[in-house]
Chains A and B, each alone.
Chain A
Amino acid sequence: MVEDIRSILKEHGKLSVDIAGLSDDADLYQAGLTSHASVNVMLALEGKFDIEFPDRMLKRNVFESVSAIRAAIEELTGGA
């Protein structure tokens, strides 16, 4: 899952650094993730994992790191 998240961030996150150089806990906003780009990341994640982020999850901190995104997806897919 982490590899899929990372490849979506690489393609849609418009980060100013290479995602490969960031740890799972690194702050993506500090790495240049804008709110516009984060929307594209959300859309790609919803498509890839066949999920829908409910509105309560559409918050900055849910998408602030690779691990935070993984935790959110696991919550929606029942930890699968």
Chain B
Amino acid sequence: MSKANESPHVATAMRIAREVAGPQAASVDRDARFPREALDALKEARLLSAFVPKAMGGLGLGMIELSQMCEALAQHCASTGMVFAMHQIQVACLVRHANGVGFFERYLKELAAKQYLIASVTSEVGIGGEMRTSICAVEKSGDRFKLDKDASTISYGEHADDLLVTARAAPDATPNDQALVLVSKPDYSLERTGAWDTLGMRGTCSPPFKMRSTGSAERILPAPFADIASQTMVPFSHILWASCWLGISTAAVSKARAFVRNQARSKPGQTPPSAMRLAEVATQLQMMRANVHDVASECEYLMNHPESSIDVLSSVAFAVKMNNLKVSTSEAAFQIAHRCLGICGIMGYKNDSKFSIGIHMRDSMSAALMVSNDRILSTNAAMLLVLKDD
């Protein structure tokens, strides 16, 4: 990671994380409010177009730097990290699958200039987290489309400029024959149909909405969603989510370390018993970090070599690996927070202590549900029946 450690953009994200996201984190969590200050700072630093190529006004960064930014932000405010991650996933889908197409090229330049924020609308009432299935359909007539979706969760829906929406490609298309559509503020309405009063990730502000939209048909991405999903949406989601969870785990472990150091200082000469538990949780954190970095580096390499890598990105072996990353890091995140609670004891259990672990436990509990691990494992179970790993 040495190259990205020298990245001035990662350094900027780290500064925003420390100076803006951290100080607002408690009120974001308590009031389940959008982390406005941090997002404004990220826009100011032009980081919302981090993945947009330089030639189009963006920063032209890759997966490794994005991953480090998500980790840094989530370490100080998990909701900020997750909002940033989800936005970058949407941008990556457009950059990698619609760049060069007239409308989207103009749009990406505009996104870089105006620092638009894009939200994701994949989950649907009646389907849950199965991203590769839709009930709603795009209805085209002439050069216009109409698309209504009963969305079960749209993070920062009320704070986004644009939405990237999955739907069946046509009213007579099968549930897995999907298209991805970019709908923009003047063209959509959101009717909120529920609340977002959750255990954690409260600042992502992700209630259910009925979305209604119309627009020009050029906003439908030309690439089939199947390709976008396997080559970009899934790898970016799993890596950037995992980076956020790594940030949460790092935050929990750093409180546990501080707690153990405090104990040690009060009785010099005696290693406190909790130090062994700290040593144990440190191994798990290292494993999690190595996992995230390994997969992020592999992905960055593949994406920099598009000629030879499309086949790899759409292979069963790659899909299994991406899913393994998601399941293992989401489980690790909660386990690590739980272990840190054990280390800090009652001081970790209190919400008003500087060693409070509650927020990290609550935030990390979303990881296993954010596309259910059982759903992902059942997909892997099927794929492993044919994968030989030879």
| Contact across chains for B177 and A29 when beta carbons are under 8 A apart | yes
| Contact across chains for B314 and A59 when beta carbons are under 8 A apart | yes
Contact of B316 among A36, A58, A61 (CB under 8 A): A58
B279 within 8 A of A: no
Chain B residues with Cβ below 8 Å from A46 are 386
Chain B residues with Cβ below 8 Å from A61 are 314
| Contact across chains for B176 and A58 when beta carbons are under 8 A apart | no
A42 within 8 A of B: yes
B378-389: CB near A (< 8 Å → 1, else 0) gives 010011011111
B328 within 8 A of A: no
Q: Which residue of chain A has its CB nearest to the CB of B175?
A: A32
Contact of B315 among A30, A36, A39, A55 (CB under 8 A): A55
B31 within 8 A of A: no
| Contact across chains for B132 and A34 when beta carbons are under 8 A apart | yes
| Contact across chains for A30 and B177 when beta carbons are under 8 A apart | yes
Decide: A58 near B382, CB < 8 A? Known: A16-B174, A30-B173, A32-B174.
Answer: no
List residues of A (34-76) whose CB comes within 8 Å of B's CBs: 34-36, 39, 42-43, 46, 52-56, 58-61
Query: How many A-B contacts if CB must be within 8 Å?
Result: 58
Chain B residues with Cβ below 8 Å from A29 are 176-177, 226
Complex Cα distance A56/B177, Å?
A: 24
Chain B residues with Cβ below 8 Å from A42 are 386
List residues of B (336-390) whose CB comes within 8 Å of A's CBs: 379, 382-383, 385-390
How many chain A residues have a CB neighbour from B under 8 Å? 22
| Contact across chains for A59 and B315 when beta carbons are under 8 A apart | yes
A31 within 8 A of B: yes
| Contact across chains for A60 and B176 when beta carbons are under 8 A apart | no
Chain B residues with Cβ below 8 Å from A35 are 132, 379, 382-383
Q: Which residue of chain A has its CB nearest to the CB of B381?
A: A39
Chain A residues with Cβ below 8 Å from B227 are 60
| Contact across chains for B386 and A58 when beta carbons are under 8 A apart | yes
Chain A residues with Cβ below 8 Å from B317 are 55, 58
B311 within 8 A of A: yes
B230 within 8 A of A: yes
Q: Which residue of chain A has its CB nearest to the CB of B230?
A: A60
Decide: A52 near B174, CB < 8 A? Known: A34-B132, A35-B379.
Answer: no
Complex Cα distance A34/B132, Å?
A: 8
Decide: A39 near B386, CB < 8 A? Known: A58-B315, A60-B314.
Answer: yes
| Contact across chains for B132 and A56 when beta carbons are under 8 A apart | no
| Contact across chains for A54 and B226 when beta carbons are under 8 A apart | no
| Contact across chains for A55 and B173 when beta carbons are under 8 A apart | no
Decide: A54 near B174, CB < 8 A? Known: A36-B379, A59-B311, A59-B316.
Answer: no
Q: Which residue of chain B has its CB nearest to the CB of A15?
A: B174
B386 to chain A, nearest CB (A): 5
- What are the 10 closest A-B residue pairs judged by CB atoms, nearest first? A32-B174, A58-B316, A39-B382, A42-B386, A16-B174, A30-B177, A34-B176, A55-B317, A59-B315, A59-B314
- 27 sampled A-B residue pairs with Cβ under 8 A: A29-B176, A29-B177, A29-B226, A31-B174, A32-B175, A33-B176, A34-B132, A34-B133, A35-B132, A35-B379, A36-B379, A39-B383, A42-B386, A43-B386, A46-B386, A52-B388, A53-B386, A54-B388, A55-B315, A55-B388, A55-B390, A58-B315, A58-B316, A59-B314, A60-B226, A60-B227, A60-B314
